[in-house]
Amino acid sequence: MPATSVTNNDQSVSISEKSKPYVATKAVAYEASAPVVRAPAKVAFRDGAVSQINLPVPGRVTAVHVKTGDKVKAGDPLITVTSPEAAAARASFTAAQAEAEAARKEVARQDQMATSGVGIDSERVAAQAKLRQVEAELARAQTTSGLLGGGGGSTIVLRAPMDGTVIARRASVGSAVEPGGDPLIEIGNPNALWVIADVFERDLVQVHEGADVDIELSADDKPLHGKVVTVGSSLSGTTRTAPVYIAMDGDQASLRAGMFARATIKAQGGNEAIVLPAEAVLVKDGKKYIVYVRQGTADKFIAREVTVGRSVDATVQVMTGLAPGDQVVVKGALLVDTQAEQLL
């Protein structure tokens, strides 16, 4: 098989006639080159966009009114529970209300007697102290009763605290539930989402608040646009990445919490550079990078060592080694140098 290229005495390389159609050159020039940071990402609910519903007292589930994925409005019933502690708490609240009412009447009676000049100061002071005590007990009982939500007696009806979608349901009819366990129901606001990108430590210096971001949810969908809201201040111990929080622009109908994505963050430090297709840069001796430059008008090419910068979208920045106007092989570099170990 004939060689595709021949090394001349002057170290230039000539290619065979059959190879010429597969080799293309381009006069390089400085062009705008805005570096980007690519990172895996995930769609998640914003802070405060998830409400977790649980019981303040032990009980047993008697009815479940929703399932995962249901849309609910604030006040919609979610779960009905029977709890003896609920009955006791409500009875205490009722008793505290009656006691407070009686204490208020006694204070009013003592005040009226004092005004008429027949009251006893010590009894009036004692009535006022009693009122303060029972009102404190009433406030405590009211708070406890309020935590039980809707229902009466031993029945508790847990209701949705906000509009949203049921994203988790851990309750089933007949199950016993205890305070402090896993939330029985979780509701998320589907309109309060953001994207969290995991950016490597070495790239964080290029990420800044307000930076434009393209979010790819799948290879077939048009990228969505967003902006960096904030950059996390701590790194994960294993991957050495920090979370970058991205707010999305426009309609979020296609977003679902938990979706995986890929974020392309427009980094700071954009400038002008010579940019080549990655296939134009060859690796020699495992450590140096070369390109081939046409010599004059002849079909001869000379290897030129270069230093490279960041690789983005199958292109690479060339930092040194080339000058504007150089005719660089941008297609078929491996045909020119069959000894090159690999493409960049």
pLDDT in tens, 232-257: 888 887 878 999 999 988 777 778 88
Same domain, 61 and 175: yes
Region 6-31 average pLDDT: 80
Q: Which tops the pLDDT comparison, 115 or 229?
A: 229
Same domain, 278 and 325: yes
Instruction: Quote the DSSP letter at residue 196.
Output: E
What average pLDDT is seen over the chain? 83
Same domain, 200 and 261: yes
pLDDT band at 270; cut points 50, 70, 90: low
Q: What is the pLDDT of residue 227?
A: 94
Q: Which residues contact 258 (CB under 8 A, 6 or more apart)?
A: 42, 43, 44
Q: What is the pLDDT of residue 153?
A: 78
Q: Using the 3D structure, point to which of 266, 300, 327 is the last residue of a domain.
A: 266
Q: Is the pLDDT of residue 74 over 50?
A: yes
Same domain, 176 and 78: yes
Report the distance separating Cα 179 and Cα 144, nearest Å. 13
Counting Cα atoms < 13 Å in the Cβ hemisphere of 81 gives 30
Same domain, 300 and 209: no
Q: What is the pTM of this model?
A: 0.54
pLDDT band at 344; cut points 50, 70, 90: very low
What is the percentage of the chain residues whose pLDDT exceeds 70? 88
Highest mean pLDDT among 14-28, 34-48, 163-177, 248-262: 163-177
CATH of the domain at 165: 2.40.50.100
Report the distance separating Cα 166 and Cα 188, nearest Å. 6
Same domain, 196 and 100: no
pLDDT band at 274; cut points 50, 70, 90: confident
Q: For residue 55, which of 166, 168, 176 has the smallest C-alpha distance?
A: 176
Helix (H) or strand (E) holding 308: strand 300-312
Q: Which tops the pLDDT comparison, 225 or 205?
A: 225
Cβ atoms of 9 and 313 within 8 Å: the answer is: no
Cβ atoms of 160 and 65 within 8 Å: the answer is: no
Same domain, 306 and 225: no
Same domain, 62 and 75: yes
Q: Is the pLDDT of residue 145 over 50?
A: yes
Cβ atoms of 301 and 280 within 8 Å: the answer is: no
CATH of the domain at 132: 1.10.287
For 299-312, write each residue's pLDDT tens digit.
788 989 998 876 66
In terms of residue numbers, what domain contains 236?
37-48+190-266
Helix (H) or strand (E) holding 220: none
Q: Is the pLDDT of residue 216 over 80?
A: yes
Cβ atoms of 103 and 134 within 8 Å: the answer is: yes
For 220-231, write each residue's pLDDT tens digit.
678 889 999 999
Region 86-109 average pLDDT: 86
Q: Is the pLDDT of residue 23 over 60?
A: yes
Look-up: residue for tokens 């170990």? Answer: 341
Q: Is the pLDDT of residue 196 over 90?
A: yes
How many domains does one find in the chain? 4
Strand partners, 65: none
Cβ atoms of 62 and 78 within 8 Å: the answer is: no
Region 144-166 average pLDDT: 80
Same domain, 206 and 260: yes
